[in-house]
Structure 1
Amino acid sequence: MQILVADDHKLVRDGLRPFLHELDAQADILDAATLGEAIAMVEKSPNLSLVLLDLMMPGMEGLNGLQQIKAKIPNVPVVIVSGYSTRDHVFAAVQAGAAGFIPKTVSGAAMVNALRLVLSGETYLPSSSFFEDPANQGSLPPAAKSAVVPPPFDKLSRREGEILAQLVEGRTNKEIAIALSLQEITIKVHLRNVYRKIGAANRAQAVRIALQSGWIMPPVIN
């Protein structure tokens, strides 16, 4: 497997390598620090399986860089990995051809889960907890607030939804308990209910069902 990581920060490129090797221990990880370098690497790498692309690196000019790369490799999934993840940015990127959008604030385990989903042919969108809300954008759009939660996730209580969202981000029961100020045994009880309600046999299946459905944790409506 060949994976291209296009990001102008070497620390980010190097930091992603251990997680990408979880996808394939023998993966050939290619580097690019600008759009020009990324395009050159795409042109000379016919066996690419996946591209991770930073929207803010030199030469990108918004989504133009993504479109240029997709034009050259229409059948290779390109995933945006960005430190800036408003709802509008995410959906615009997917409409422009991205196979997913991963905020740089996610855990390594969550990123690996998301990339496995993308490699299986699905599209990954981050949970709503990762969407930024800049002052110039105000609150979430009315459409997002009024969105109907799709079945079977409409069966989940608010707390169960919060725990599932944490699960998708790759957190352990102990980490979820700390984050939500609950006892670990309480997390286990809630998870059993989550599995039953969404038809999952175990933790891994629950994550996959949530990712494949595009489910995101609905915002609290005041």
Structure 2
Amino acid sequence: MRILVADDHDLVRETIAAYLEKDNSMTVRQASSLDEALDAIKNEEGFALVLLDYAMPGMNGLAGLDAALRASDGRPVAMISGSANKAIAEQALQQGAAGFLPKTVAAKSMINAVKFMAMGEIYAPLDFMTQQETDNPATSHLSEREKQVLKGIAEGKSNKEIARDHDLQEVTVKLHVKTLYRKLQAKNRTHAAMIARDQNML
């Protein structure tokens, strides 16, 4: 089964593709923009599922989803995102998306979700769709996965240990750590842990 993964972040796109291709039933075509994805949808052999990044160039919010749905001629199109909230996910589903996948989803869950959507079912992770948006104001700007990684950092765990705890690839944890440094304005792991404790983030 052929899957199209469209995301402008090379490392993220290639990591997702690697996850999926570990399952021998899938081959992945990659695209780095909406225009490239639409070109592939229109001119290549039909894809069992198209995964579109919410924030990549050309998407213009959910307008890109509409364009991909029209081009796909009834085949499923789903959204992936590292930043979209529950409201955006709900709107995408209402517009006809086959599902919504946070980029923080575990590898096994992602593979299962892709197979599920390719069969014509609708997928959205229950924990994401039912989470409270602002449980703790100090961490409202962090995703659930970033909070988990930050907790691991504060506990002195390595990236490999955090990855094992949450069924992630180590490269994915590294991406979250880098994002946490930027969001917290932290210089290193120790600084990030100190900020988290000082601001009662844990």
Structure 1: state its 5+ residue gaps.
136-173, 177-222
Instruction: Please state whether the residue corresponding to 2:48 is helix, strand or coil.
Output: strand
> Which residue of 2 is the match for residue 16 of structure 1?
16
What do residues 63-83 of structure 1 show as CA deviations (whole Å, max 9, x unaligned)? 110100100113211111101
What do residues 1-51 of structure 1 show as CA deviations (whole Å, max 9, x unaligned)? 22111000110111012321244x263311111111111111111321111
Instruction: Mark the CA change 1:121 to 1:58 in structure 2 (over 3 Å): closer, same or farther.
Output: same
Q: Displacement of 1:129 after TM fit?
A: 4.3
* Contact 2:20 2:27 survives alignment (8 Å): no
- Rounded to whole Å, the distance in 1 between the matches of 2:57 and 2:49 is 20
Instruction: Please state whether the residue corresponding to 1:125 is helix, strand or coil.
Output: coil
> Which residue of 2 is the match for residue 30 of structure 1?
29
* Contact 1:84 1:132 survives alignment (8 Å): no
> Which residue of 2 is the match for residue 7 of structure 1?
7
Structure 2: state its 5+ residue gaps.
136-163, 167-202
- Rounded to whole Å, the distance in 1 between the matches of 2:128 and 2:26 is 31
Instruction: Mark the CA change 1:40 to 1:116 in structure 2 (over 3 Å): closer, same or farther.
Output: same
What do residues 128-166 of structure 1 show as CA deviations (whole Å, max 9, x unaligned)? 34657269xxxxxxxxxxxxxxxxxxxxxxxxxxxxxxx
Instruction: Please state whether the residue corresponding to 2:69 is helix, strand or coil.
Output: helix
What do residues 65-112 of structure 1 show as CA deviations (whole Å, max 9, x unaligned)? 010010011321111110124221111001111100000111101111
Q: Summarize the alignment of residues 67-86 of structure 1 with structure 2, pairs less than 5 Å apart.
A: 67-86=66-85
Q: What is the TM-score of this pair, normalised by structure 2?
A: 0.61
Q: Aligned residues, how many?
A: 137
Q: Displacement of 1:175 after TM fit?
A: 5.3
> Which residue of 1 is the match for residue 96 of structure 2?
97
> Which residue of 1 is the match for residue 189 of structure 2?
none
Q: Percent identity?
A: 37
Give the letter aligned to residue 101 of structure 2: I
- Rounded to whole Å, the distance in 2 between the matches of 1:96 and 1:67 is 7
In the alignment, structure 1 residue 44 sits paired with structure 2 residue 43? yes
Q: Summarize the alignment of residues 101-140 of structure 1 with structure 2, pairs less than 5 Å apart.
A: 101-129=100-128, 131=131, 133=133
* Contact 1:81 1:103 survives alignment (8 Å): yes
Give the letter aligned to residue 3 of structure 1: I
> Which residue of 1 is the match for residue 143 of structure 2?
none
* Contact 1:86 1:132 survives alignment (8 Å): no
Instruction: Please state whether the residue corresponding to 1:61 is helix, strand or coil.
Output: coil
RMSD of Structure 2 on Structure 1 (CA): 2.3
* Contact 1:4 1:29 survives alignment (8 Å): yes
Give the letter aligned to residue 116 of structure 1: K
Give the letter aligned to residue 21 of structure 1: E
Q: What is the TM-score of this pair, normalised by structure 1?
A: 0.56
* Contact 1:22 1:112 survives alignment (8 Å): no
